[in-house]
Amino acid sequence: MTEKKAKKAPAKSAAKSKSPATAKAADGVVLLSGGNPQIAKAYGDEPVQKYIAAMPGWKNRVGKELDRLIVKAFPKVAKAVKWNSPFYGTEKDVWFLGYHCMTKYVKVAFFRGAHLKPLPPGTSKQKEVRYLDIYEDDEIDAAQFIDWVKQASKLPGERM
């Protein structure tokens, strides 16, 4: 009986090493539910670019565009990856925006979005937060997004 258990254990390990999540981990990035990249907490542009590079399929294009527009609107932006999401702020640990890969869209969170004009369309259970959900065929309204980023960067940030 112990021999059978010993023989089964390597078979399970071999099966695990062929799973898609493990295959992604070999490249340094695991995709969590919804295709959200699992990136270790870190500060600066490098981990954010690693997150964006790991965003699957069309979401990668959206991540690149969001990052480009945010930097265009606020060139001195602070960046980090926390809780497997890129964060953008005015200084270390003071954030005004973050985003996250969901199964069918990319969810952009404006942490003080209730103060933006016009309001981003997505409501939240949190009074201050507003969302912008970007789906595969959506075109980002660059002028509006840049305006929201400029407004958000002038508001008190969220300390996290």
Where exactly are the structural domains of the chain?
Answer: 21-159
Q: Which sign does the torsion angle of CA 98, 100, 106, 112 carry?
A: negative
8 Å CB contact between 85 and 100: yes
Other Cβ atoms closer than 10 A to 113: 26
What distance in Å separates the CA atoms of residue 111 and residue 57, rounded to the nearest whole number? 26
CATH topology of domain 21-159: Aspartate Aminotransferase, domain 1 (3.90.1150)
The pLDDT, as a whole number, for residue 29 is 84
- Take residue 116 and report the two structure tokens written for it: 């933006």
Quick check: bond before 118 cis, omega within 30?
yes
What distance in Å separates the CA atoms of residue 139 and residue 85, rounded to the nearest whole number? 22
pTM of the model: 0.82
- Take residue 73 and report the two structure tokens written for it: 């609107």
What distance in Å separates the CA atoms of residue 131 and residue 116, rounded to the nearest whole number? 11
Low-confidence residues in the chain, pLDDT < 50:
1-23, 25-26
The pLDDT, as a whole number, for residue 35 is 86
| DSSP state letter for 105 | E
| DSSP state letter for 122 | B
What distance in Å separates the CA atoms of residue 111 and residue 103, rounded to the nearest whole number? 22
The pLDDT, as a whole number, for residue 79 is 98
